[in-house]
Chains A and B, each alone.
Chain A
Amino acid sequence: MSRHVLLILAALIVATAGWAYHVNYKTITAIDEVERLRAEIAKEREVLQVLRVEWAYLNAPERLAGLVADHQDELKLVPLVPESLGEVAEVPFPKAREVEEEEPQVSETAPALPVPAFRPATWSPE
């Protein structure tokens, strides 16, 4: 009987040793993986930092002002001034009656009023 107990215990020890060995190596690989991921995060952070600086540099007001000046012919951008802002009340709306009367005419001669759409000066349909 005691021999059986001994055998079982011995088997248990071997099994535990094997398990411990396995876990040990698993931990080591996990630590390596963490290290690798950390290095990757550090690298990503660095890249992010570089890109953020680049974004800030490309959007620096000083640089944009220079670009606007260089491309004045095409873009025709001007600084925002008080006159750029207006009130709805300042828009000369036609009276409701006039609209009713004129509407059919407008639809017939539609091309007379070009539809406003944003497109840069260099834009072509292709």
Chain B
Amino acid sequence: MTDLCANPGSKARASRRGEWRMILLMVVFGLCYGAVGLRMAHMAATEPTEPQLARSDRAGLPVRGEITDRNGALLAANLPAWSLYAHPGEIKDKVKAATDLAGIFPELDRDALLKRLTDGRRFVWIKRPIGPREKQEVHDLGTPGLHFGRREMRIYPAGRTAAHVVGGVKAAREDVRFAELAGSGGIEKYFDDRLRDPEQVAEPLRLSIDTRVQQAMRHELAEGMARLTAKGASAILMEVETGRITGLVSLPDFDPNRPPQVFTGPAQLNPRFNRAALGRYELGSTFKVLTAAMALETGVAHSQTMLKTPRRIPYGRHSIRDAYRMPEEMSVEDIIVKSSNVGTAKLSMMVGTRRFKDYLKQLGFFDPSGLELAEAARAQPLLPSKWTDLSSMTISFGHGLAASPVHLAASFATLANAGIAVRPTLTMDSVEAGPRVFSERTSSEMLRVLREVVVRGTAKRANVPGYEIGGKTGTAEKFKPGGGYYHDRVISTFAAVFPTSKPRYVLIVSLDEPTDRSGRKPVRSAGRTAVPVAAQVIRRVAPILGMRPEIVPDDSALGIVTGLE
């Protein structure tokens, strides 16, 4: 009985327990799924936010990397600024608003602004960028409908001093909330990606420019340009061993802190035109040095080889002459020192057109210079369309091939750097040695000849005591747009190396249409125009670069000592 009673009872209890288990299981699963569902709904419904602690800390860093010179002085930096815009619909008294704004910003035209505010637009940019003080003034007006967008302003503390090197920026895309700056010229454009890269924004871009040198060069060049009433001028100072450019000046220049002005003259006179990197000129007699170096290197002549130099070399309808009467027989050294066109043309024929072209190619005259400026990439040298022997002859003394002064600087640096190719650069990145173009012997022999040019040749005015300057002048008549050459308009160039015993720097000074009127007759030759300016530049720049003049104690110094005894 008890069994009978017990059995149904325990059975019922067991089934009830099973039921409970099922319910419990369902509740637990229900809760689990419910939790997942709720979390999903929550995530879907809320605004996504960045994990606050995990993100790297970039707040307050500039949006665009800074640019400094080799000593760390700022060339380009950013300042907080604002863009001023208006929602005309919110402005009650538009006439008053336009008048007030024109009062704060003198460059805004009241009527034009009023027209833009009243012609039914819903959004008007008023001025960008504006500085903190201007922002406060606009704020104090209390006019509704005027808004500010947070911006960064690109600023160039060095101003005109390095204008052509740094270039400039322009607003690429602009919105109320953000603005994107893009380089519009110079370094800013060439290194645009690097400067915008958020990973590298904290690290300033260091250039090989030295602001002090830049300033001294610009000052001396501007004075020379004014004295010689030249239309423009450019100068490049380059380290011989590395190809790093310490100073690059092109005049006229511009203030990079001002928005570009519309320029309506010939492009060559635009202050934004970089004569040093983009300008291509026939560089005149400076090329003779390269021709002579080729002659020495190929072994067709050495510096004392005597060559017959007739008054003229006829070639078809043309003939090559010298600027003035030369002796009938000259050594290669004298051909350079006295700058004989005939002699150099003969040398080029001894080298041969094929090898002549090949050397020019190795010296970089067939390609853009590769300098890190946006303009330099476009400066493809102008070569003769059909290269004949006549082309070689004229190019041997610098006519018929137009290249930028940067090209010339690089080729002279190659010659001075014991013949190892030098590539021009504006950065402080390490440089690897280039291929050998000339032998060490050719290099030292040519440096000696360059020194002779300064000691007793066409560049006597460059003889700054203590710096052993060597160099070559070049006076190239300017090309007439219609064909032929002007006789009273020249590009006068001086390419210098110093000190010649152990070359450290190459300096190129080029003046556009200079005239020395100090004497009775106006003189345009480089020896009286570019050379004195270059000498002045070296006098200023060399001490800044820490170069001491090496002066052999002369009689005057000894005189003081003996006088005391």
Contacts and interface: CB of A to CB of B under 8 A. Distances in A.
A112 B553 CA distance: 32
Interface in B547-565: 548-549, 551, 553, 557, 560-561, 563-565
B543 interface: yes
Contacts of B464: 82
Contacts of A101: none
B79 A38 contact: no
B257 to A, nearest CB: 10
Contacts of B548: 85, 87
Q: How large is the interface on B (under 10, 10 to 19, 20 to 34, 35 or more residues)?
A: 35 or more
Nearest to B158: A60
Contact of B159 (A38, A41, A50, A62): A62
A56 B158 contact: yes
Interface string A60-84: 1111010000000000000111101
Interface residues of A, number: 35
Interface string B535-547: 0000110111000
Interface stretch (A6-14, A88-96, A103-111): A88-96
B50 to A, nearest CB: 12
Contact of B160 (A53, A56, A62): A62
A59 B464 CA distance: 30
Interface in A35-57: 35, 38-39, 41-46, 49-50, 52-53, 56-57
B564 A85 contact: no
Contacts of A35: 52
B215 A44 contact: no
A92 B562 CA distance: 9
A31 interface: yes
B260 interface: no
A20 interface: no
B66 to A, nearest CB: 9
A46 B80 contact: yes
Interface in B161-181: 161
B539 A53 contact: no
A60 B255 CA distance: 13
B384 to A, nearest CB: 42
Contact of B77 (A49, A65, A85): A49
Contacts of A89: 553, 557
B57 interface: yes
A79 B216 contact: yes
Contact of A60 (B59, B157, B540): B157
Contact of B540 (A45, A46, A79, A90): A79
A34 interface: yes
Nearest to A45: B60
Nearest to B544: A80
B564 A92 contact: yes
Contact of B52 (A34, A56, A57, A81): A34
Of A79, A82, A85, the most chain B CB neighbours within 10 A belong to: A82
A62 B543 contact: no
Contact of B74 (A38, A53, A92): A53
Where chain A touches its partner, the secondary structure class is: helix
A52 B77 contact: yes
B78 A49 contact: yes
Contact of A90 (B78, B80, B557): B557
Interface string B208-236: 00011011100100000000000000000
Interface string B133-167: 00000000000000000000001011111000000
B53 interface: yes
Contacts of A38: 57, 59
Contacts of B350: none
Interface in B290-322: none
Contacts of B271: none
B553 to A, nearest CB: 6
B73 A56 contact: yes
Contacts of A79: 216, 540
Of B74, B214, B539, the most chain A CB neighbours within 10 A belong to: B74
Nearest to B553: A89
B214 A61 contact: yes
Nearest to A89: B553
Nearest to B72: A56
Given A31-B52, A65-B219, A52 B74 contact: yes
Contacts of B124: none
Contacts of B565: 95
A18 to B, nearest CB: 23
A49 B539 contact: no
Contact of A62 (B61, B158, B465): B158
A81 B540 contact: yes
A79 B548 CA distance: 15
Contacts of A44: 60
Nearest to A43: B60
Interface in B72-93: 73-74, 77-80
B466 interface: yes
B60 A82 contact: no
B369 to A, nearest CB: 26
B286 to A, nearest CB: 25
B326 to A, nearest CB: 35
B62 interface: yes
Contact of A61 (B212, B465, B563): B212
Given A45-B61, A57-B157, A82-B467, 5 more contacts: A31-B52, A49-B78, A62-B159, A81-B539, A82-B549
24 contacts: A31-B52, A34-B52, A41-B59, A43-B60, A45-B59, A45-B61, A49-B62, A50-B80, A53-B77, A53-B78, A53-B155, A56-B73, A56-B74, A57-B157, A60-B161, A60-B211, A62-B161, A63-B159, A65-B215, A79-B540, A81-B540, A82-B542, A85-B548, A92-B564
Minimum-distance CB pairs A-B, first 6: A42-B60, A45-B60, A61-B215, A56-B157, A56-B74, A42-B59
